[in-house]
Amino acid sequence: MLKKGIGASPGIAIAKAFVYEKVEAEIPQYTVEDRDAEIERLQRALDESKTQLLQIKDKAAEALGAEEAEVFEAHAMILEDPEFADAIKNEISSSGTNAVQAAKGVVDMFYAMFDAMDDPYFRGRAADIRDVGTRVINNLLGIENIDLSSMPEDTILIAEDLAPSDTAQMDKVHVKGFATDIGSRTSHTAIMARSLEIPAVLGLGDITTAAKTGDLVIVDGSTGEVIVLPTAEELEKYKALQAKFIAYQKELAELKDAEAITTDGHRVELVGNIGSPNDIEGVLKNGGEGVGLYRTEFLYMDSDTMPDEEVQFTAYKKVIQAFGDRPVIIRTLDIGGDKKLPYLPLEEEMNPFLGLRAIRLCFQNEELFKTQLRAILRASAFGNAKIMFPMISVVSEVIQGKKLLAECMKELDDEKIAYNKDISVGIMVEIPAAAVTADIIVPEVSFFSIGTNDLCQYTLAVDRMNQNVSYLYDPFHPAIIRLVKNVIQASHSEVGKFTGMCGEFAGDPYATLLLMGLGLDEFSMSASSIPQVKKIIRSVSYQQAQDIANKALTLSTGKEVLDYIKGELDKLGITVM
C-alpha cells in the first residue's frame, strides 16, 4: 500500500513498523478547596518537568550536538515564562480549577494562538507548546512520559506526530526511519530528522492506522513515499535504490573539501542560506564556503520584543566570526508579506506581498532600520560581512539605503566604534523591475543576489503560498531564465561585481548547469543541497554548461527547459537524487 506525504529527510529505510501510540491523559474536572496547595502542586510539576527537559537536553546534545539540543533549553524556558506559568496559576487562584485542568486550558489556548498564525515558523512552535504542556500534565497525573530510547532492532517509528523531545530521546541505533500522520517541513521534528540523517516522511494523514506494529514498511524520505507491506518486486526495487543512495552519499561526503570547479577550471562559490547562528554548523559540515543569505528576520520573529542593537550585534558577530575571512551576506529585515512581528502592528493590506514589506517598511521605521544597520556595521569589524537590501524595485531605494548606512557610519565614527568602512553593499533582485533595470542599478551596488522565490511570484503573477496556482509557479519559465541572464550580464559589465542566487532555485540540482552556463557566480542554498550541486558542477566543463544554457534560452516553456536539462544530465551520466 503506497502512501504519499512530505519528504522531510532524504534516504530510504526498510524495516518493521513500531506504531507509537500516545495515551491521551484524561483531564479531571473538579475544583479545589486549598488553592495555594494546588499552586504548590503545579510548581512541583513545573520544576520536575524542567529537570526532565534539562536531562533530555544533555542526551540530545550528545546525540545531535549542542545547537540542536537548544530547543530543550527553549522548552525549559517556556516553563519559566511568566505568561505561561502565571496564566495557569491565575486560573487556579481565581476559579479554584484543579492544576491539570488549568494547565490544559492554558496550553490549548497558546496552541490555538500559534497554530492560527500564517507564518510556518510560528505554527511550528505550537507543537513545542503542546509538547511542554503534555509533560507538565503527565507529571501532575503521575503518568510516565513514554521512553523511546530503547527500540527493537531495525525499527521504523510510526506516530501521529513526534514531539521534539520524542525525536531527541529516540534510539538512534535501532530507529532506521520514521513516518507520521502530521507535521511539516519546517517543524522541529523535520529539522532534527535531517540533522540525524534518518529518512523521514511526515504529514501522511493516516499512517498510524494504515500500518500495524510488525508490518514491513519502506520509507523514502527523498520522494515522500511510504509503502506498507511492500510486494517482493517493490522490496527489490527499493533495496537497489537504497544501496544507490548510500553509495551516492559516500561519494558526496568525499567532496566536502573539494572546490566547486568545472573540469576546465571555471570556479563558482557555493554558500549556505541561514536563519540563525544555529545553522552555521550545517553549512560548515556540508562544505559551504560562506553565507549567501542570512535571513535576519528570524532573530526578530524569535523574540517577544524588538531585539536591540546589542542582541543583534551578538548574533551577527557569532556568524561572521564562524566564517573567518569567508563572506557572510546579511540581509536586512524582510518583514511583511507572510512574515509578521507580534510587537510591530501592521495595517491589514489587501495584497501584503505587494505592500509595505522589507526595505519599504524599514524606510518607514528608520530607527528600527538604523538599529539593525549599526549592529551589522559593528559586527563587520570581526570578519567578512556584506550587507544586502531586500525588495529593491528602483535604484533610488538603493541610494536611500546607502544614505542611512552612511549616517550610521558617521555615528559610529563619532562614538569611535570600529567597523569595516569598505563593507560591500548589494541587493536582492526579486522584483522584475530590478531585474530588467539591473544595468541602471549596478553602479550603486557591489553585487546582486537573485531571489527566485519572490522573483517567480512577481514575474509570473503566482502567489508563492497559493496551492491553487502552484502548477504555474515555475522558475524554469523562459521569463525567469531571461531575467537571470540579464542580471548576470549587468553585474559583469563592471569589474569585480558578481551575481549570486539565494532563492530555492539555486539549490535545485536540475538548475545547476543552466545557472552556471548563464554565468552565475555564487549559489546560495540550504546546507544539505550543497554537496549534490558541487558534484554536478565538477562533472562538466564550463563550455558544456554554456551550451546547455544557450539551448535552454531558445525553448518556449519551463517544461521544455526542464525536460531538455534532464535529457542532457542523462547523456552526461549525471545522477540526481
Three-state secondary structure call for residue 228: strand
∠ Cα 307 504 283 (to 5°): 65
Binding partner of residue 507 among Mg ion, ligand PEP, none, CB cut-off 5 to 8 Å per kind: none
CB neighbourhood size of 382 (10 A) = 19
* Residue whose CB is less far from ligand PEP, 336 or 531: 336
Q: How far is the CB of 353 from ligand PEP (least distance, A)?
A: 9
The yes or no reply on residue 451 touching Mg ion (CB under 5 A) is: yes
**Binding residue for ligand PEP (CB under 6 A) from 7, 451, 500, 531?**
451
* Residue whose CB is less far from ligand PEP, 279 or 334: 334
Three-state secondary structure call for residue 540: coil
* 250: CB partners within 8 A, 6+ apart: none
Q: Comparing C-alpha atoms, which of 195, 232, 163, 218 is closest to residue 5? A: 218
User: Dihedral sign, CA of 222, 223, 229, 230?
Assistant: negative
Give strand ranges (E) for 229-358. Answer: 269-274, 291-295, 327-331
* Residue whose CB is less far from Mg ion, 131 or 454: 454
The yes or no reply on residue 295 touching ligand PEP (CB under 6 A) is: yes
**Binding residue for Mg ion (CB under 5 A) from 128, 225, 269, 454?**
454
Total site size for Mg ion, rule CB under 5 A = 3
Q: How far is the CB of 479 from ligand PEP (least distance, A)?
A: 15
Contact 438, 486 (CB under 8 A): yes
* Residue whose CB is less far from Mg ion, 358 or 545: 358
Binding region for ligand PEP (CB under 6 A) out of 119-127, 167-175, 222-230, 445-453? 445-453
* Residue whose CB is less far from ligand PEP, 134 or 449: 449
> Catalytic residue at 362?
no
* Residue whose CB is less far from ligand PEP, 293 or 423: 293
The yes or no reply on residue 166 touching Mg ion (CB under 5 A) is: no
The yes or no reply on residue 503 touching ligand PEP (CB under 6 A) is: yes
Q: Quickly count helices (H) and strands (E) in the chain.
A: 23, 16
* Residue whose CB is less far from ligand PEP, 106 or 502: 502
Please state, in angstroms and as integers, the Cα–Cα distance from residue 125 to each residue in 18, 301, 484, 495, following that order: 26, 11, 36, 46
3-class SS string, 326-381: CEEEEECCCCECCECCCCCCCCCCCCHHHCCCCHHHHHHCHHHHHHHHHHHHHHHH
Q: How far is the CB of 451 from Mg ion (least distance, A)?
A: 4
Binding partner of residue 295 among ligand PEP, Mg ion, none, CB cut-off 5 to 8 Å per kind: ligand PEP
The yes or no reply on residue 430 touching Mg ion (CB under 5 A) is: yes
Distance CA 163, CA 92 (A): 27
**Binding residue for ligand PEP (CB under 6 A) from 52, 134, 187, 452?**
452
The one catalytic residue in 188, 408, 456, 477 is: 188
Please state, in angstroms and as integers, the Cα–Cα distance from residue 1 to each residue in 202, 231, 237, 291, following that order: 17, 9, 15, 42
Binding partner of residue 503 among ligand PEP, Mg ion, none, CB cut-off 5 to 8 Å per kind: ligand PEP
Cell of residue 269, nine digits: 562559490
Q: How far is the CB of 322 from ligand PEP (least distance, A)?
A: 21
The yes or no reply on residue 340 touching ligand PEP (CB under 6 A) is: no
Total site size for ligand PEP, rule CB under 6 A = 10
Residue 359 identity:
I
Binding partner of residue 14 among ligand PEP, Mg ion, none, CB cut-off 5 to 8 Å per kind: none
* Residue whose CB is less far from Mg ion, 430 or 568: 430
Beta strand pairing status for 522-525 and 269-274? parallel
The yes or no reply on residue 334 touching ligand PEP (CB under 6 A) is: yes
Distance CA 273, CA 409 (A): 27
* 407: CB partners within 8 A, 6+ apart: 370
Q: What is the dihedral of CA 257, 263, 268, 274, to 10 degrees?
A: -40
The yes or no reply on residue 502 touching ligand PEP (CB under 6 A) is: yes
**Binding residue for ligand PEP (CB under 6 A) from 128, 225, 430, 568?**
430
Distance CA 506, CA 453 (A): 10
Angle between helices 558-572 and 542-552 (to 10 degrees): 150
Binding region for ligand PEP (CB under 6 A) out of 117-125, 181-189, 312-320, 450-458? 450-458
**Binding residue for ligand PEP (CB under 6 A) from 93, 278, 453, 546?**
453
> Catalytic residue at 188?
yes
Q: How far is the CB of 457 from Mg ion (least distance, A)?
A: 9
Q: How far is the CB of 569 from ligand PEP (least distance, A)?
A: 24
Binding region for ligand PEP (CB under 6 A) out of 64-72, 416-424, 447-455, 527-535? 447-455
The residues that touch ligand PEP, with contacts defined as CB under 6 A, are: 293, 295, 334, 430, 451-454, 502-503
Please give the positions annotated as active site.
Answer: 188, 502
